[in-house]
Amino acid sequence: MLDCAIIGGGPAGLTAGLYATRGGLKNVVLFEKGLPGGQITQSSEIENYPGFFDHTKSGMDFMDNWQKQCFNFGLEHRMDEVLQIQKDGENFSIQIAGKDPVSTKSVIVCTGSTPKRAGIVGEDKFFGRGVSTCATCDGFFYKNKEVAVLGGGDTALEEAYYLSNICSKVYLIHRRDSFRAAPSTIQRVQNKENIEIVLNTTVTQILGDDMGVNSILLKDKNGSETKLEISGIFVFVGHNVNNSVLKTSENNFLCDVNEQGQVIVNLKMHTSLEGLFAAGDIRIDAPKQVISAAGDGAVAALEVISYLQERS
């Protein structure tokens, strides 16, 4: 029987593991289906985490030390995909793909979120052949080529800037008349000579052939359509919540969620179900930042320690 199962090994899960084990819990397992690190490992840079200000380092570099530190106090990583969390009396049963279930006294769900697709005609057809949601992963394929970036938030602008150092030109396309990003990021993008900002415009279709994407159709606010020849398009339009582990066999949720499927927690990361906690991008009102995900993970682990002490 585990003291605590942590599902997901991004910033929230890793920090929860660090605090739980350093706080004295012995049987704590981090279930992470891939390598620990989470979404930020896809980022080309991170400049808003205090204490880390080497902008030449990627999100992967950034998370490297987290893994070393967070496993230093006895946290165990199992590279397993969790299918479902079930309530089993006062405990929980963790259902794992291809393995026996694991019993645990408490659970912290840190499964994060996944970049959304924009729903453009041709997006699915050309996904991986010119359509991407990860500049760090795929930017190099477009070296000295022209690409488009779709979106108007921090991630879109950061990734447009990153691509501008690899690609010959970046069209930054946003459907509104202004960006929703940090002023310093907006200014950096505006000052970059090979980024062309295209506002009040939507992408209506992604076109290509057997070789992949070769152009996109744009529609401005007056309804005028233009064709833009590019080799790739990077889509940064928000996230889906990874809450499937909380779905019951009856297709309900194990705990309360809001209409977007985000887990409802209080300030102590308690869900509506005793012994079940949630942290990071999966929770309501998450700022979707590394620092807040890590903070949530710490809070949730401290609460698990109190919960188990009260139970014993």
* Catalytic residue status for 255: no
Site string for ligand FAD, 181-220 (x = CB under 6 A): ----------------------------------------
Question: Which entry of 54, 137, 256, 285 is annotated as an active-site residue?
Answer: 137
Nearby residues of 84 by Cβ (< 8 Å), 6 or more positions away? 95, 245, 247, 248, 249
Confirm if 145 and 168 have CB atoms less than 8 A apart.
yes
Q: Which residue from 22, 33, 57, 145 is in contact with ligand FAD, where contact means CB under 6 A?
A: 33
Residue span 216-255 as binding mask against ligand FAD, x where in contact by CB under 6 A, dash where not: --------------------------x--x----------
Does position 142 bind ligand FAD by CB under 6 A?
no
Q: How far is the CB of 47 from ligand FAD (least distance, A)?
A: 7
The catalytically annotated residue of 3, 80, 138, 296 is: 138
**For 310, which DSSP code?**
H
Please report whether residue 104 would count as binding ligand FAD according to CB under 6 A: no
58, 93, 104, 111: which one binds ligand FAD (CB under 6 A): 111
Nearest in space to 282 (alpha carbons), one of 108, 116, 134: 108
Q: Does residue number 152 form part of the binding site for ligand FAD (CB under 6 A)?
A: no
10 Å CB burial of residue 47 (0-12, 13-18, 19+) is: middle
CB 30 within 8 A of CB 36: yes
Minimum separation from the CB atom of position 239 to ligand FAD (A): 8
Task: Name which of 106, 110, 112, 92 is nearest 28 in CA terms.
Answer: 106
Distance, CA of 191 to chain centre: 28
10 lines the binding site for ligand FAD (CB under 6 A): yes
Q: What amino acid is encoded at 283 in this protein?
A: R
Contact between 61 and ligand FAD by CB under 6 A: the answer reads: no
User: Minimal distance in Å, beta carbon 1 to ligand FAD?
Assistant: 20
Which DSSP category does 255 fall into? S
Residue numbers 73-92 binding ligand FAD by CB under 6 A: 81-82
Q: Which residue among 2, 7, 25, 300 contacts ligand FAD (CB under 6 A)?
A: 7
167 is catalytic: no
User: Which of 3, 32, 138, 303 contacts ligand FAD by CB under 6 A?
Assistant: 32
What is d(CA 90, CA 105) in angstroms, rounded to the nearest whole number? 7
Q: Can you tell me the distance from the alpha carbon of 261 to that of 287, in angstroms, rounded to the nearest whole number?
A: 15
Written as one string, the DSSP assignment of 3-56 is SEEEE--SHHHHHHHHHHHHTT-S-EEEE-SSSTT-GGGG-S----STT---TT
For residue 25, which amino acid is it? Answer: L
| 234 neighbors 150 (Cβ within 8 angstroms) | yes
> In the annotation, is 134 catalytic?
yes
Please identify every residue annotated as catalytic.
134, 137-138
Interface with ligand FAD (CB under 6 A): 7-13, 31-34, 38-40, 42-43, 46, 48, 81-82, 110-113, 115, 155, 158-159, 242, 245, 280-281, 288-291, 293
